[in-house]
Chain A
């Protein structure tokens, strides 16, 4: 079948598109080219990369779960309630998305640090977040929760509210409607939001290093390990970077239908 003239891509667009793709592909390819493949296993082991990988998975999965559990109700309020100052509230909860993560880290320290506004009460109660894995989870949740809020709010707004009304007219209580109608209908958006939140948490650097520190074996996730290793062993840093690339790619490919289908 011949392509119609209007469907043919103009040369200028093809050229710019090629540059755009190269912009992304060349750096990734460079990692693959320069990686010290012969020392793969011992390099990764000697730098504590496996520990960092485990920490990264724990922290990022916890952040994704926390974002889902706390972000969905926020989205509900934004989409459905008629409270005053709703658009201001939306702007505030979306703020971590545009804020430099290091600012988020400083803010968290000021709030939840040992002598912070709230932290001093936590400290008195024997709870310490800074320089612990719990702190890393808080910091990553702070930056990833807006992604769940945005996705869930969009989902709630695009849902036909009459479906929930129909369910009530069929005798369903509010809890039953929520469990069997609203949340199942929201699932594609929640899945997309939670995967994006997880990816964001996996790559989180600024807020984590500021709030939870860079303690190997305790708060040093993969991005922090890349940062530290690079100063002493650039080759190992490349390998750890590739670990992150591989992890991200696996998730993107596995979830592509869920994220991009709608």
Chain B
């Protein structure tokens, strides 16, 4: 079973172009910052919005084919959706909400309620709350009802749009394992829409990154971690990314010229010594050394700048240096104290050319 999407939609200030595929047995995460157009893709998949152009197919069923004038109405698509804002029916009880897809398909009231009640129980929804209306439910309870409503009619496509975004920290940590097990146990195509890289990295087999309406990268979590292709992804996976034009320097070395400054990198083996556009340099923050005076030594790259941020994570600190180019260093708390680093002060960052991994276009 394979979902294939290739659509174009214009929103008020955004041109959205989404191309993605998802097959049965894998979870695909559509990851991107808020406002990237992810929910618009959900609306197109669920049948609430008609794209301006393109096709959506699930195996041999064409849901949308704008050029071919084909359109399958929402109610005829075998999808289960957890909407970002929940969208539980405020006038129905928890059980009635969960039973809605069955009732809409003609299952009689008693049978639908019975199945809804047993599914709610399986999802950890308290039996005593079954007759509560959505405005009386906690965030975690409401999401369980949403999940039940998305699963009860055994759809072939499961769409989860930011299933934990509206929850507080505690409810989120409770719901995450549940969502993971639901996704793993679901027979069909699974798509998770999220702005949370941790959620995407821990749940998805493949990640499709969407920024400002465009798909900017796709790959396994491992691939994204090793070779991020945009500053957004690099930031997500916590590495430095230098994107620009590769120019030959001295033997064995080159220079990536970015809009914000240059970085010396190793010249890739076998690459003709000619300038090349669209090259990425990836640098782990733990390979960056910080100094309070201009460093001496073998490191080819030395950047001076103001310390914009010191973020402490456990025993380590991520130090963001606003230099040319900007660099993030990860050092121990001991080093922070020994160097006397503080936000707003000037500092130097250095790193060896060989530490920069070059990714060719």
Contacts and interface: CB of A to CB of B under 8 A. Distances in A.
A100 interface: no
Interface stretch (B78-86, B271-279, B341-349): B78-86
A169 B90 contact: no
Nearest to A184: B91
Given A162-B48, A165-B48, A170 B90 contact: no
A169 B103 CA distance: 13
B100 A172 contact: yes
A14 to B, nearest CB: 38
B87 A171 contact: no
Given A170-B149, A176-B104, A163 B75 contact: no
Interface in A163-195: 163, 165-173, 176, 180-181, 184-185, 187
B228 interface: no
Contacts of A171: 75, 101, 104-105, 153
Contacts of A180: 100, 103-104
A162 B87 CA distance: 7
B89 A173 contact: no
Nearest to A165: B48
Contacts of B104: 167, 170-173, 176, 180
A60 to B, nearest CB: 29
A244 to B, nearest CB: 35
A172 B96 CA distance: 14
B46 interface: yes
B91 A162 contact: no
Interface residues of A, number: 18
A166 B81 contact: yes
Interface residues of B, number: 23
A168 B149 CA distance: 13
B75 A172 contact: yes
Nearest to B73: A168
Contacts of B103: 180
A63 B47 CA distance: 40
Contacts, number: 59
B74 interface: yes
B100 A170 contact: yes
Contact of A169 (B47, B89, B105): B47
Most chain A beta-carbon neighbours within 10 Å: one of B43, B47, B74, B85 = B74
B73 A162 contact: no
Nearest to B78: A171
Give chain A's interface secondary structure class.
helix
A249 B91 CA distance: 29
A51 B81 CA distance: 58
Interface in B60-77: 73-75, 77
Most chain B beta-carbon neighbours within 10 Å: one of A165, A166, A173, A185 = A166
Contacts of B101: 170-171
Given A162-B83, A173-B75, A173-B104, A168 B48 contact: yes
A9 to B, nearest CB: 34
Nearest to B153: A171
Given A169-B81, A171-B101, A173-B75, A163 B87 contact: yes
Nearest to A183: B91
A57 B75 CA distance: 44
B74 A169 contact: yes
B89 A165 contact: no
Contacts of B73: 168
A176 B47 CA distance: 17
Interface in A212-251: none
A175 to B, nearest CB: 10
Given A180-B103, A185-B89, 4 more contacts: A165-B48, A168-B73, A169-B48, A169-B77
28 contacts: A160-B87, A162-B83, A162-B85, A162-B87, A163-B87, A163-B90, A165-B46, A166-B87, A166-B89, A169-B47, A169-B74, A170-B75, A170-B81, A170-B100, A170-B101, A170-B104, A170-B153, A171-B75, A171-B101, A171-B105, A171-B153, A172-B75, A172-B100, A172-B104, A173-B75, A180-B100, A181-B89, A185-B91
Interface of A: 160, 162-163, 165-173, 176, 180-181, 184-185, 187
Nearest first, the 3 closest Cβ-Cβ pairs linking A and B are A172-B104, A168-B74, A165-B48
